[in-house]
Structure 1
Amino acid sequence: MAFQDVALRKAFPNDLQGDLTHGASGTNVVAVQYALGRLGYLHDLCDGKFGGNTENAVKAFQVSVGIPASGQVTAILLTLLDIAVSRLNPRTPATQVTDPLAYLSDFRGLRIPEIRITGTREIYSWASQEIQLAYGHWVGSYWEVIKQNRVEADCKGMALFLMDQFRKQIKQDRFINLPHPVLRGATETPWIVATRDKSRGFFSRSDNGIPADRAGYEVVKALEKLDPQQSMLFGVAVHYPEISAHQVARTCTRIWDWNPTFTNGGDTSKPEIPINLLQPGHLIFIDHTGNGSFDHTVSVIKVERDDTNRTRKLILAVGSFDDVRDNSSDTEPTSLGLINTYAEEVTVTFDTNGRISNSVVSWSSEPDYIVKTRYSARTTVMEQKSGGKLFIGRWA
């Protein structure tokens, strides 16, 4: 039969010649993994190796379509996979419109709750407690829009985008004009917004400026051979030019400054910031080298506390350059004219003593069947390198 899905069609030009089972390998397996990943059954790399995770994904799909869960890929299974993936629309809502930023700024259409201010003062600023509380409530709602539309940015870019979108909505809802806290009166420039159809200097494929021997791109390259439309921009990439993470850090009000007594000495169960001080909307800044230059920004999205008001769970937003994670966690883009970004949500839980009990990437803008996630508690609430410093801030 002629498969509708291009990857399955290329991998099986003569249909299936013998069932695929545990232990199989090769391009055929990559195509099956790719289908299972897009359908949400495989949460592992499409590495072309039919292991336990792939077998379990096959079984889960078989159960969903009402056939015996053998874990084997048969001709019937391939046909059913082809029908299922051909019905998928991989594009997020924001990528299906002419103006993605306008879509992401249609707060009523997105059903974002109206911003309410309890105070009665005539002039508000970022220093107003009412604004800080409103922003903390708002980021939790808008973060869901970010996830639904796979909005990607580097770390400070995500923090800036959340802040700027809040400025838009509070002006619309409450007629409050908040200044840009980083530019401080300087002329604001438009956001750069990229999609797979208009990449605007962001990678759309791995062969677009990526060195042939660059590590970490093996799965992407394998998938692009099967599916020429496979793109590295799965959602919307947003970028605000000419603002560094250090500039953002310098303009934020510090809620808590670095204290050497918080150094955990390599104990990765101990956060290096006072987690009980954190509120939604706060920012965590990390100076990786200890030289005074803060090069990483973490946005606090949600905070859950117990009955004694101790923080038990954090939901954090992070991002970086280079969505196909190389071995180093601080990879520089191959060139500033050709970059790629991604975003992740990290959920960190704590025990009653404030120690880290678990840390997971609970969402990623890049599919987990293509790339491995990078961030964790180790890279968000502590510094993984000796000499690093952190502080907690808020928009000033």
Structure 2
Amino acid sequence: MSAAHTATTAVAQEVDHRALRFLTAGSVDDGKSTLIGRLLFDSRAILADQLDTLEKRAAGQPIDLSLLTDGLEAEREQGITIDVAYRYFATKQRKFIIADAPGHEQYTRNMVTAAAGSDAAVVLVDITKLDTHAKPVALLPQTRRHALLAHLLRVPSIVFAVNKLDAIADPQPAFEAVREALQGFAEQAGIAVAGIIPVSALRGDNVTTPLAADWYQGPSLLQLLESLPTTQERKTGNLLLPVQYVAREGEGTGNQPRTLWGRIAHGQVKAGDQVQLFPSGQVATVAEVRRAGEVVDVCVAGESAGIVLDRQIDVSRGDWIATPQSVKDSNRFAATLAWLDTEPAVVGRKYWVRHGNRWVQARIASIESRLDIHTLQATDTHELAVNDIGRVVIETQQPLPVEPYQDNRVGGSLIIVDPASNRTSGALLVQAAA
């Protein structure tokens, strides 16, 4: 299927007007910050004083749009993106929240953070870095890694933007060769691609306005982004809610009603529902449901809900509320581990893991394989180095109500923290109870 057909099909779907959260990713100097700057500039989302500063710095030369996102002093000095920079803009069709993720391997953890809450990922491919005469074209490791991470993190829509067409003498055959390589990689990795778009972020070609070329009839990047759906967890069926905090109403004795607040991961809750608390396993009935301080009939996935139970139960931050018998807590489960620490992941070492709002001690019981990002095959290994992706078995000191990540992002994801350095060492995506 051609990129133009794929993208056009997406545009033809019913338009989702909710704000789209998307990240830009790819290798170093692929033009991610410039692309975001172009989107902001063309959508007139730049303040007058920002534009004036850029024009003065340019001193009569074309404006460097990448400076709109490279906000840290270290980023400007080194010419690379280090932290995730969030920017906002809107068109007549919808609003957007953009995350400019670092391309350097050293900052892959920041890219993972941005991807975890995104509706879409735009992976930039610098066509000038590739040998477009090779058959097939060899993609850069970071292009493959970022696309795989976005796929593993369940980012619903993955778009490849083939950038810097203005630097190619004959862009049509070069783009078609890269598109073929991207399609082959995506098919091998099981990635459903929302579109493969030719662009020039520097010149503005096919970013917000369609490309003026006979060989490409597809949408611009902005047109495609306007059509993409937002992530929606299921709003019906079984409830799952991580307790964020517990509020006691009024003053006086401990017999006052308590409200258990949290953002619903999936399902819905209403007065009269039976719920089960974890880790205690106790069952109670919902007496009242609140949203924004007001009593409501029902709350659904994606909303912050306050639950009042029919009786006093010891509940605190980090506990979970679920429909009875819908979730089983386990202290041993298989997971995909994206390792982000310079210290390798080794079997037997103890870490802290966070599931929802709950912290427990855990250890890596076994490392079963590592994913080779070049061949996409699982290889035997005894440890995972920085930026490696592997399959592991985790054992926790206390049981957790985990779910497969493919079923739910919240119930199926954990972070690993090194207890000595307090560094975020890895991201766990639950596959199944072991």
Q: Scaled by the length of structure 2, what TM-score is found?
A: 0.27
Q: Scaled by the length of structure 1, what TM-score is found?
A: 0.29
Query: RCO greater where, 1 or 2, for CA within 8 Å and sep 6 or more?
Result: 1
Bigger proportion of residues as helix: 1
